[in-house]
Amino acid sequence: MEGLKAVMSAKTIQSLVHSWETVRFELLNSRISDLNLSLAGSPVEPLVRRLYREMEVKGFRFKPTVYLTDSWGCPDRYPVIGIPFYLADQRLARIEEEQTGEIEDSKRIMALLRHEAGHAINYAYRLWRRPGWEEMFGRFTRPYRDVFRPDMLSREYVKHLSSFPYGRTYAQKHPDEDFAETFAVWLTPRSGWRDRYRNWPVMRKLQYLGGLMKEICRQSPENSRVRLLRPVDSMTILLADNYGKKAERYRRAARGYVDDRLREVFPPVRGLLLRPASRLFRKLHSHLLDRVVLWSKLSEREAAAILRKLEIRSDALKLFYRPGQEGERIMDVVSLAVALALDYAYTGRLTG
């Protein structure tokens, strides 16, 4: 009898595996627009409603439009929030996890929703134009700088994306990101930010933001334009091709991103005793690896992949530096590696 039960159990498991492979095959060979995906009734809908309730508690009448697309984000200066389509279907979420190695849990989804809501509020009320905004957060129109030296000990910035150990540094990337992170901390129920950031310089940002939110929350937004980038019903690509194109898009973006940043770190130089940048990566691999792991909390494997990418591209670009510049170059290289780690922290994927 026990043997029969074991055989039946094995057959049941085998049947389930076969059934999933069939479903997986059918989904991967379906057009995304034909999957009839919708926020309504989806696993992520309760989390969107939760965001709206949190905003209502704070007195907001305005609620940003949330729609399904291929990635997280707010289109520049449009008060809408895009979330990945795979979160609307548990089967697609399973495929996403198989393809990328991870999937957002509810805590991470809420953290990202609150962050994106900060962008949406900024865009809806054009807050960057308000008196004091620039003084607190910086110039909104400042270009994004992907190479920067994050101050890991700074108390001028909040730490919101707690599931990403380097969330506090992400706020240093751009004034718009600083505002979004500060808004998210202010919005999060029971975050205890008054105690957590007591005696920190960043408290002035939180207090300024709180006063500004109290002023605008009952007002109608100045900007209610809706622009949806790649809405799910326009994505006629096959799901399988989406992953292929996404990987290729990341590879192309990563190559341009890394090449441009490396050229900033190692500008053209002339001389007889120049040293190749790639040799610097090899010589200091262990030191750089330790620094990146310490600052970013990535695994050694992930950190090593970033450093290897930088080494290969610096060799291909034939980049050099002068003797005596090693110390300065090391700091720049670590900053670049951490910047890549920040992108991984936010997107959940290692670029490229």
Per the listing, tokens 């990987």 go with 247
Q: What's the pLDDT at 49?
A: 98
H or E stretch covering 82: strand 80-84
Task: Output 283 or 31, whichever has higher pLDDT.
Answer: 31
Instruction: Kindly report the length of the chain.
Output: 352
Beta bridge partners of 238: 31
Taking residues 106-120, report their average pLDDT. Answer: 95
Q: What's the pLDDT at 280?
A: 86
Q: What's the pLDDT at 184?
A: 96
How many percent of the chain have pLDDT more than 70?
A: 82
Taking residues 287-306, report their average pLDDT. Answer: 77
CA of residue 112 relative to chain centroid, distance:
8
Question: How far are the Cα atoms of 34, 98, 188, 262 from residue 329, in angstroms, in the given order?
Answer: 50, 38, 39, 10
Taking residues 203-217, report their average pLDDT. Answer: 96
Interatomic CA distance for residues 42 and 85, integer angstroms:
10
pLDDT digits (tens, 9 = 90+) for 161-191: 743 434 446 788 889 999 999 999 999 999 8
Interatomic CA distance for residues 209 and 175, integer angstroms:
13
pLDDT digits (tens, 9 = 90+) for 63-72: 999 999 998 9
